[in-house]
Amino acid sequence: MAAIYFDHAATTPMHPEVVAVMTQALTESFGNPSSIHQFGRRAHQQLTAARQIVASSLNAKPHEIIFNSGGTEGDNTAIIQTALARKAEGMHIITTAIEHPAVLEPMKYLASLGFDITYLPVDQTGMIALADLQAALRPETILVSVMFANNETGNILPIAEIGAILKAHPATFHVDAVQAYGALPIDVTALGIDLLSVSAHKFNGPKGVGFLYKKDGVNFPSFLKGGEQEEKRRAGTENLPGILGMAKAITLLTPAEKARRKVYLQKLADTLIAQLKASDIEFSLNGNLENKLPHVLNLRLPRVNHDILLTRLDLAGMAVSSGSACTAGNIEPSHVLAAMYGEESPILKESLRVSFGYENTLEEVEQFSQRLIAEVSRLQKKD
């Protein structure tokens, strides 16, 4: 039986057309976009075209796009540089307890510098309350950073509502859209977003490349010090093959294709849930089932240690995870589930994340569900 990959929330395989574009770029577009000779001019033209593609996908202006190495750099740049640039106006920042480490770690760093960080709590469905945000806002609040969709539960957070609240407040609004960009339509203008981070490898593009949307009027110095690339906003020679690959991945994600994938991925998720319901195993779903990404399922399997289950599934050629790939190597339990249920809850060690991609099939879902049911049934009875 062929291996089954159901860990697309961690990373996605590159689309064949993306590979083709990058292969051509690696062999033909080797010029430095900053060089003035013909090789550099051609590279610069391609970079400009890619920037337009990215900007159009967000209803942004091309010069508002800064190419970088991905979500972590984008989050660090947006959060740290905004805080340092606006320090004289205030030192209060608001975020949530369920952010990705690429947001939480910069927050810890800023706290060590004396910034006051408010972490909005979540309920047992993993959702924040807008009333908590409004209560936390102060005159000295300079930054609000909230993820668009959670990478462990798939929950979609109320970004439009937060943007509306912040229209009457001078705080900068940053959104980590790494998990959401490939699945949801995003209009940064309509949503009132000032800064937005994206990483290509989450939507069938290459690893090590992404971008930061920075709205006109949001000012801070380059996070990396060096050359004057990206209009002096991000030093370092641009990764042109990666950027062209990302742009190709974006062109493949037309609004119609996103809508089609949403329906298809929901069908895969619904099929798995139906199979589990038809079995005799105990299970439930973590997260807000009414407002989530269709491709991410977080399963709770009572009395089943997820480490043991993951190992057994891996030996059977089936790849899933227990949470964020950026913390999966850590023995600490999921901070997202801990925020939802409390740090002592057994749910933290009994939960599994299954995430689908466009290339997955119903046959794979059925094969996976059969194996999952067999393993869980054995483990639950053994307990």
Integer Cα distance of 67 and 39 in angstroms: 20
197: which 2 tokens?
């981070």
User: SS3 for 217-265, per residue?
Assistant: CCCCCCCCCCCCHHHHCCCCCCCHHHHHHHHHHHHHCCHHHHHHHHHHH
Instruction: Provide the whole-model pTM.
Output: 0.95
User: Residue 328: what pLDDT?
Assistant: 47
Strand partners, 175: 196
Integer Cα distance of 67 and 211 in angstroms: 4
pLDDT per residue as tens digits for the range 100-125: 999 999 999 999 999 999 999 999 99
Report which of 250, 80, 264, 243 is spatially closest to residue 177, judged by C-alpha positions.
250
Distances (CA, A) of 344 to 153, 208, 209, 275, 341: 19, 36, 37, 30, 8
Distances (CA, A) of 252 to 54, 103, 246: 12, 29, 10
- Give the residue ranges of DSSP H helices in the chain: 16-28, 38-58, 71-76, 82-85, 101-112, 130-136, 159-166, 188-191, 229-232, 240-252, 255-277, 306-315, 335-341, 362-382
Report which of 207, 145, 201 is spatially closest to residue 176, judged by C-alpha positions.
145
Other C-beta atoms closer than 10 Å to the C-beta of 346 total 12
15 residue type, one letter: H
Integer Cα distance of 82 and 172 in angstroms: 8
What positions carry a catalytic annotation? Answer: 326
In the chain, residues under CATH classification 3.90.1150.10 are 4-12+254-382
CATH of domain 16-252: 3.40.640.10
The residues of the chain scoring below 70 in pLDDT are 1, 324-331, 382-383
In the chain, residues under CATH classification 3.40.640.10 are 16-252
Q: Are 40 and 169 in contact (CB under 8 A)?
A: no
Q: Tell the CATH superfamily of the 4-12+254-382 domain.
A: Aspartate Aminotransferase, domain 1 (3.90.1150.10)
Which residue shows structure tokens 């949307």?
A: 213
Which residue shows structure tokens 């033209």?
A: 45
Distances (CA, A) of 100 to 75, 103, 131, 210: 10, 6, 22, 16
What angle do the packed helices 38-58 and 240-252 form, to 10 degrees? 40
Segment (H or E) for 284: strand 284-285
Query: What's the burial of 61, exposed, middle or buried (CB within 10 Å: 0-12/13-18/19+)?
Result: middle
Which residue shows structure tokens 């949801």?
A: 184
User: Residue 230: what pLDDT?
Assistant: 86
User: Residue 331: what pLDDT?
Assistant: 58
313: which 2 tokens?
């599934």
User: Residue 146: what pLDDT?
Assistant: 98
